Amino acid sequence: MIANHIHDALGQVDRIRELILERRRFRGYSGLARMLGGGVALVATLVLDRIDSLHTPLLQLAGWAAVLGAALLLNYGGLALWFFRRRAGSSALDELRPALEVVPALAIGAALSIALVLHGQFNLLFGAWMCLYGLAHMGYRHSLPQGIIGVGLFYQAAGLACLLIPGINFLNPWPMGLVFFAGESVGGWILRSGPDEESTESNETTEEETDHEASC
């Protein structure tokens, strides 16, 4: 009997913990927008590879800057739409915090990119971008589905490979394009496969029931 009570109590603790994590989950990012960003990276790779006149470091850099701009427009445009739909809620700004916590890592990435370009180290850019973007994913470990952490580790591993393997050339866009297409496609799929608002409401109801059971 005592063992059964202990087992039931542990089960309730696990259930409450899962519900708390679920309520903390950040839903401002669009999985579809992220997948579209991966598609943009792949299309840009094809263009940068096929057009010979673009095979200069500065033009390749301009191409990747355009990809970044498109990705920011897609992802943060979707985030803005989500925010304004929820602006009537008093907790909307608090819920936006996970998106703001990764800004320092992205800002460091921009500063490091500028430094590498100024020193002519174009071949290190792919690795630096991947590593820092992967590190930014770690900031979402408590607010996005756990699979996102795996995507972050994938970016870090790919970035380290680009930094350490000889022969990575900035004029060859395929390492960058394939890594970001794969990472953003999987990341978007993870976000889209997560629970929606309707399931969140049902979880809140379940949480009330769980609290009642725990109090009993």
- Taking the C-alpha atoms of residue 132 and residue 124, their distance in angstroms, rounded to an integer, is 12
Torsion of CA 102, 90, 187, 122, to 10 degrees: -30
DSSP state of 168: -
Evaluate if pTM is beyond 0.85.
Answer: no
Q: State the pLDDT at residue 82.
A: 84
- What are the helix and strand counts (H, E) for the chain? 10, 0
**Segments making up each domain of the chain, as ranges:** 23-195
Per-position pLDDT tens, the chain of length 216: 565 555 555 455 445 444 444 455 677 899 999 999 999 999 999 999 999 999 999 999 999 999 999 999 999 898 888 888 776 554 556 677 778 888 888 889 999 999 999 999 999 999 999 999 999 998 887 788 889 999 999 999 999 999 999 989 999 999 999 999 999 999 999 999 865 544 444 444 444 444 444 444
The answer to whether 144 and 26 are in contact (CB under 8 A) is: yes
